[in-house]
Amino acid sequence: MTHLLGIDLGTSSVKVVVIDETGRLLGVGNREYPIHTPRPNWAEQDPEDWRRASIDAARQALTRAGLSGESIVSIGFSGQMHGFALVDEAGAPVGPAIIWPDQRSVTEVQEITDLLGVGTLADVAGTAPATGFLAPTMRWLRKHDAARLDASHAALMPKDYVRLHLTGEMATDASDASATAAFDQRRRAWSQDIIARLDLPARLLPRVIGSADAAGTLMPKAADALGLRAGIPVATGAADQAAQAVANGLLDPGFGAITIGTGGQLFMPLTTPRADPQLRLHTFCHGHPARWYALGAMLSAGLSLRWLRNTIGMANDPDAYPKLAALAANVPPGADGLLFLPYLVGERSPIMDPRARGTFVGLALRHELGHLVRAIMEGVAFAMRQILDIMLDLGGPVEGMLAAGNGLGSDVWRQLTADILNRPLRLSQQGERSGAGAAFLGGIAAGVYPDFEAVRDLAKRAASPILTEPDPARARFYDERYGRFLEVYPALRPVMHELHGE
């Protein structure tokens, strides 16, 4: 039996999966790493933490799968989006990586919008710039740390940094590059016009190759560290959302995906690039070379519940989330008049406001911890509905959605999300879809699968999801409550911005 390895480099941890050629998950390894916040609104990581954690997690995955590394025929990658690490010619980090939750480039985001205009951003980049994206962060570095840019040889997205140290080759793919605001998503190439107009250092941008192309082969030293055979192909890989779509067979419009992890995403496949003219959503390149996707991305989905967990002193309780979900289950829909805006670190889709802030509205003496938990869950789902409504306005049919991420693994959170969206959610019983997508990309690079369509067909045959249908009565109730939710941010926006400036 042929075995494939996928490395999914997330925001707070790396997960490494081993699958067989049928897609069956055999073993998972996991290693966490910290996010450093040396100043308010900064978010950084040590790229070497990514590399070391990937090695440890890969060995753990092989052990749990009960396999020798000799049976692995390829490696593929999935990774967190937007952020990057600067490296020198030898591939060593030039300072910490600046990752997607980073908020330091608020001024640069507005500069880019003013310089390029909404038309160019929509037609060429397919996305508005946002804090944490490569383009505004590069402009910030040019102003505040130019020496660091001058000392660097390349800017590598997280997955690309780890892959460099496996293959010795520097490259990225279109799915990650299109999430920088400096990429021509139609041509699937760096936009020389945008790069010139923004005065970005073009020499630092890596070459772009296919997500399922072999970016190189596994070097002997890296093979020894991982416990694998040297010389096996290593696929370029894809951004995490594109990778999960590959594993779930989401290549064609009509069925989307919703994820509640640290952040939250709503994903819709496209056969042609179609950008929101108001830039409330992103349009990015898929891992498939002839597909794109619309993405609504929120910053504090599961992160909102994690904040509450840590604030009440449950950070070290391994059963914290099930306990909190049980409390929420005993609170009626609407949390007895309590609303929550999940904007703890600003927000991207659909309001695109880095100065937005989270808030509870309607807090009363009668409210207990369970009300706070349910209000957070509902607030995240309401924000997801805002994204879905825009996708529907753009003409994209969404019959139902695959549910992913630890948040939607909760029966309570998944049910109220189905009710609020008024769409069925299909929770895959196959775990680690971004990691599996990474492994499938490696399988295409190695010739195990002829193309993306073969993987799609395999995913459809293997699917046996848990279906969560919306309850009609609760859907009607939430439809009315959603109207109240939509009123809160516009009313509080001036106050949020004023407080942000203090």
List of residues 6+ apart from 246 with CB closer than 8 A: 238, 287, 288, 437, 440, 441, 452, 455
In this structure, is residue 254 part of a structural domain? no
pLDDT digits (tens, 9 = 90+) for 254-283: 888 998 988 899 999 999 888 888 899 999
Question: Residues 406, 324: contact at Cβ < 8 Å?
Answer: no
In this structure, is residue 315 part of a structural domain? no
Alpha carbons 241 and 179: distance in angstroms, whole number: 11
Is the entire prediction scored with pTM above 0.75? yes
Domain count, the chain: 1
The pLDDT, as a whole number, for residue 150 is 95
pLDDT digits (tens, 9 = 90+) for 138-196: 999 999 999 999 999 999 999 999 999 999 999 999 999 999 999 999 999 999 999 99
Task: Please say if the pLDDT value at position 92 is more than 90.
Answer: yes
In this structure, is residue 118 part of a structural domain? yes
Query: What's 29's domain CATH number?
Result: 3.30.420.40
| Tokens linked to 142 | 């040019």
Give the helix/strand (H/E) hosting 249.
none
Q: Which domain holds residue 205?
A: 3-249+433-462
In this structure, is residue 100 part of a structural domain? yes
pLDDT digits (tens, 9 = 90+) for 99-147: 998 989 999 999 999 999 999 999 999 999 989 999 999 999 999 999 9
Question: Residues 294, 282: contact at Cβ < 8 Å?
Answer: yes
In this structure, is residue 41 part of a structural domain? yes
In this structure, is residue 326 part of a structural domain? no
Beta bridge partners of 32: 13
Type of residue at 318:
P
The pLDDT, as a whole number, for residue 464 is 65
pLDDT digits (tens, 9 = 90+) for 304-343: 999 999 999 999 999 999 999 999 999 999 999 999 999 9
Strands (E), 114-206: 154-156, 183-184, 189-190
The percentage of residues in the chain with a pLDDT greater than 70, rounded to a whole number, is 99
The pLDDT, as a whole number, for residue 333 is 98
The pLDDT, as a whole number, for residue 463 is 66
Give the helix/strand (H/E) hosting 414.
helix 411-421
The pLDDT, as a whole number, for residue 247 is 93
In this structure, is residue 486 part of a structural domain? no
pLDDT digits (tens, 9 = 90+) for 62-79: 999 999 999 999 999 999
Task: Please say if the pLDDT value at position 502 is more than 60.
Answer: no
Look-up: residue for tokens 């509640």? 260
The pLDDT, as a whole number, for residue 396 is 67
In this structure, is residue 14 part of a structural domain? yes
Task: Please say if the pLDDT value at position 430 is more than 80.
Answer: no
Task: Please say if the pLDDT value at position 395 is more than 70.
Answer: no
The pLDDT, as a whole number, for residue 394 is 75
List of residues 6+ apart from 165 with CB closer than 8 A: 51, 91, 222
The percentage of residues in the chain with a pLDDT greater than 90, rounded to a whole number, is 83
Q: Taking residues 91-96, report their average pLDDT.
A: 97
